[in-house]
């Protein structure tokens, strides 16, 4: 049973994997009275997708306004029959950049690679969910994987839920405007109803977009790393930080901070996977501990610093999340919440991960190192072609 942590005027509940997340989400959807906003990168047509869709349809049958914003790439495989069924039930569905072209690298077209990677839900401005869990079954479906993806989300109940609701409602309005679907009443709300919320003590919603918050998530990480005195634990699915981020971790290790990275051990996207390996020698040489998660895919995007500061969200530490996608993380300053996440990560490291480095795990030969170097250069080249490389990347 997940613990409830009181942080400021908010109750936080850490949810590990879909096994804990989806039953809690559907229970809150069934309790909704006025509105539900849902944003996700992947909405997959499987048993989990059906469970969530059915809960949303029950909500519309009670008169609840249900609005769902799906990423046009991540949810591209959602069948039209499912969309028709949702529309018939009264669920409003919009797409974030649905049409993309894989046949051109012209910079004018690269804006289409800016994805909606946030995983957010807001219910009645009273309850919200923030994390990295997509609407998809926990298990990958491969016979060799006996464990679910490792991932986390946070259930928020309190004043911050209103801020999350406002953020989601605003993006819904922006996408509606872009798609020329806004009625005059919605236009007035979009321009006139921009409510500013006072920051909640101990907890912050940190966004990444292409306007006012381009570097907020990366800055939150860097500030926490710079302030670390004893320990940094980062679990991240796609870890390819820029030079500045790597330097911050190395400097922390040099001043005596124990730095542990829990990274992907299974190959999901080959180029990204091996590009990360190109950074291993530098990080290991600085005394940073690297562990690779083995039972299944690691999908978490979380961190804990000194057992006091924690972040849970959708943002990977790679150029695509930090420079292109819309992301959302929670940053929490609370011993109880951070301690629960820390204990979960340490258990995963001890029970389900292999340490990388001299005397640990499997030594990499020259072929592995060469492939890692080529993969890293390919990613750097792609970022350069997109026109998004900057000092420190």
pLDDT above 50 (res 104): no
Q: Which residue is it, tokens 């990274």?
A: 263
In this prediction, residue 212 carries a pLDDT of: 75
The arithmetic mean of pLDDT across residues 281-309, rounded, is: 95
Average pLDDT, the chain: 86
Residue, of 301 and 147, whose pLDDT is higher: 301
In this prediction, residue 146 carries a pLDDT of: 72
Region of poorest pLDDT, from 106-110, 176-180, 215-219, 338-342: 106-110
The arithmetic mean of pLDDT across residues 116-121, rounded, is: 97
In this prediction, residue 98 carries a pLDDT of: 84
In this prediction, residue 139 carries a pLDDT of: 83
The rounded distance, in Å, linking the Cα atoms of 200 and 213 is 18
C-beta separation of 98 from 179 below 8 A: no
Residue, of 376 and 159, whose pLDDT is higher: 159
The arithmetic mean of pLDDT across residues 251-262, rounded, is: 98
Query: How does residue 192 score in pLDDT terms, banded at 50, 70 and 90?
Result: very low
In this prediction, residue 265 carries a pLDDT of: 87
The rounded distance, in Å, linking the Cα atoms of 203 and 223 is 15
Query: How does residue 105 score in pLDDT terms, banded at 50, 70 and 90?
Result: very low
The arithmetic mean of pLDDT across residues 256-274, rounded, is: 84
DSSP, collapsed to helix, strand or coil, labels residue 268 as coil
pLDDT above 50 (res 106): no
In this prediction, residue 266 carries a pLDDT of: 84
For residue 150, which of 242, 17, 30 has the smallest C-alpha distance? 17
In this prediction, residue 269 carries a pLDDT of: 65
DSSP, collapsed to helix, strand or coil, labels residue 175 as helix
> What DSSP character marks residue 256?
T
C-beta separation of 150 from 312 below 8 A: no
Query: How does residue 392 score in pLDDT terms, banded at 50, 70 and 90?
Result: very low
Structural domains of the chain, ranges and CATH numbers in brackets: 4-200 (3.30.870.10), 216-386 (3.30.870.10)
pLDDT above 90 (res 341): yes
Query: How does residue 318 score in pLDDT terms, banded at 50, 70 and 90?
Result: confident
Strand (E) or helix (H) holding 68 = strand 65-71
Query: How does residue 391 score in pLDDT terms, banded at 50, 70 and 90?
Result: very low
pLDDT above 60 (res 182): no
The rounded distance, in Å, linking the Cα atoms of 87 and 380 is 42
Q: Which residues are catalytic?
A: 117, 119, 124, 299, 301, 306
In this prediction, residue 359 carries a pLDDT of: 58
DSSP, collapsed to helix, strand or coil, labels residue 208 as strand
Q: Residues 53-70: pLDDT tens digits?
A: 999 999 999 999 999 999
For residue 301, which of 313, 293, 289 has the smallest C-alpha distance? 313
């Amino acid at each position: 049973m997940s613990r409830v942590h009181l942080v400021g005027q908010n109750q936080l509940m850490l949810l590990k994997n879909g096994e804990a997340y989806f039953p809690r989400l559907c229970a809150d959807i069934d309790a909704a009275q006025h509105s539900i906003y849902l944003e996700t990168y992947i909405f997959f047509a499987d048993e989990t997708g059906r469970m969530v869709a059915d809960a949303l349809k029950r909500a519309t049958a009670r008169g609840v306004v249900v609005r769902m914003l799906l990423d046009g790439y991540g949810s591209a495989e959602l069948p039209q029959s499912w969309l028709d069924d949702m529309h018939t039930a009264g669920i409003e569905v919009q797409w974030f950049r649905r049409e993309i072209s894989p046949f051109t690298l012209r910079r004018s077209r690269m804006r289409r690679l800016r994805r909606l990677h946030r995983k957010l839900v807001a219910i009645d401005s009273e309850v919200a969910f923030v994390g990295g869990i997509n609407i998809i079954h926990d298990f990958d479906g491969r016979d060799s994987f006996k464990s679910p993806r490792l991932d986390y989300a946070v259930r928020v109940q309190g004043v911050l839920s209103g801020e999350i609701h406002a953020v989601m409602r605003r993006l819904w309005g922006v996408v509606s405007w872009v798609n020329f679907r806004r009625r005059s009443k919605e236009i007035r709300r979009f321009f006139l109803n921009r409510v500013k919320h006072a920051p909640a003590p101990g907890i912050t919603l940190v966004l990444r977009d292409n306007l006012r918050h381009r570097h907020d998530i990366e800055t939150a990480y860097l500030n926490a790393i710079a302030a670390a005195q004893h320990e940094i634990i980062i679990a991240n699915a796609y870890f390819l930080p820029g030079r500045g981020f790597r330097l911050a971790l190395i400097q922390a290790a040099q001043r005596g901070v124990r730095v542990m990275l829990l990274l992907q051990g299974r190959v999901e996207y080959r180029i990204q996977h091996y590009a990360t390996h190109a950074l291993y020698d530098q990080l290991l040489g600085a005394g940073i501990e690297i562990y690779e998660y083995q039972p299944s895919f690691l999908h978490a995007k979380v961190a804990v610093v000194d057992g006091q500061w924690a972040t849970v969200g959708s943002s990977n530490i790679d150029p695509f999340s930090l420079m292109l996608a819309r992301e959302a993380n929670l940053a929490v300053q609370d011993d109880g919440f951070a301690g629960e996440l820390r204990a979960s990560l340490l258990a995963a490291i001890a029970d389900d991960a292999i340490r990388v480095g001299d005397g640990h795990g499997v030594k990499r030969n020259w072929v592995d190192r060469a492939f890692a170097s080529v993969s890293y250069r390919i990613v750097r080249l792609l970022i350069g072609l997109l026109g998004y490389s900057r000092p420190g990347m």
